[in-house]
Amino acid sequence: MNLYDKLLNNEQYIKTVKRIEQMKFITNGKWDWEHGLGHYKRVADYVKKILIQLNANERTIELGMICALLHDIGLSKGDKIDHAIESSKIFSRYIDKNDISLEEMEIIKQAILDHSKGNNIQSLIGLSLVLADKLDVTYHRTINSSIQDWVNKEIQKIKKVDILIDDNNLIVKYFTEANFDISVLKSWDKSIAIPKKVAEYLNKNYIFLINGREIQLLI
C-alpha cells in the first residue's frame, strides 16, 4: 500500500478529518469554505499533476500527495489559530515514522507551514502545494457554505480549473458558466496572485485563461 492510500486508511486521520468537516470556519465574516477530505483529495490531484509536469520523481509525487492530505489538519484545533503553523506541528502523528526519512519529514513540514502564502518556497513539494491549494476554487468548496453572498454564488459558476506548465509558461485555465463575472476574483485575489508568484519563482510567463480567452490580471 502506498503512503497516500495508507493515510486514507488511517483511522486516527479519518476521525480527525471528520471532526474538521463538522466545524464552521468563518473568519472576519468571510466564508466557511470546505476544508474536508474532498478539498484534500482535489489538492492532492492538483499536486500530482503539477509535479508530473515539473518532471518530479515518483517519491516526490507521493510525498506531495500526502502533504496535500495533511496541509489543513491543524484546523482540528479550531479556527482561532494559524492553521498552517498548527498543521505543521501535528501532521507527523498521522505518518508511520518507518515510512519516511527525517529529511522528508522536514520538507513536508516546511511545505505545510508555507502553504497559505508561499512566501518561503523551499522545495518542489512546497511549490506544488501552495499552487494546488489555490487552484481548488470551484463550486465544490462553496456550494455548502452558510454564507451565500455574491462572491460565493459567482465562484459556484467555476466548474473546473486546470493547469499547464511547459518550458516557458504556467497557464491556469478556468472553465465557467457563460455569465461568470470575472470581477469577483478581485474579492479573492489569492487565486490569481499565488499562481503568479509561483510562475515568477519558476521564471515562467503567467497566462490566465477563462473559457479559452486570456484575461489580463486583475491584481
Residue 193's pLDDT is: 87
- Residue ranges in the chain assigned as alpha helix (H): 3-8, 11-21, 37-53, 58-70, 83-90, 102-113, 124-135, 150-155, 190-201
Q: pLDDT at position 11, please?
A: 95
Inside any domain, residue 197: yes
Residue located via cell numbers 515514522? 97
Rounded to whole angstroms, the Cα distance separating 67 from 84 reads 12
- Mean pLDDT for 12-31 is 84
pTM of the full structure = 0.94
Instruction: Check which CATH number belongs to the domain holding 13 and give it.
Output: 1.10.3210
pLDDT higher than threshold 90 for residue 207: yes
> Do the Cβ atoms of 67 and 112 come closer than 8 Å?
yes
- Is residue 137 domain-resident? yes
Domain annotation covers residue 219 = no
CB 15 within 8 A of CB 130: no
Average pLDDT over residues 121-134: 95
Residue 112 lies in a domain: yes
Stronger pLDDT, 72 or 190, i.e. the higher one: 72
pLDDT of 27 > 80? The answer is no
Residue 168 lies in a domain: yes
Q: What range defines the domain where residue 150 resides?
A: 3-214
Q: What's the structural domain count of the chain?
A: 1
Q: Could you report the per-residue pLDDT of 82-107, keeping only the tens digit for each?
A: 888 899 999 999 999 889 999 999 99
What b-and-e string marks burial along 168-206, b requiring 16 or more CB atoms within 10 Å of the CB?
Answer: eebbbbbbbeeebeeebbeebebbbbbbbbbbeebebeb
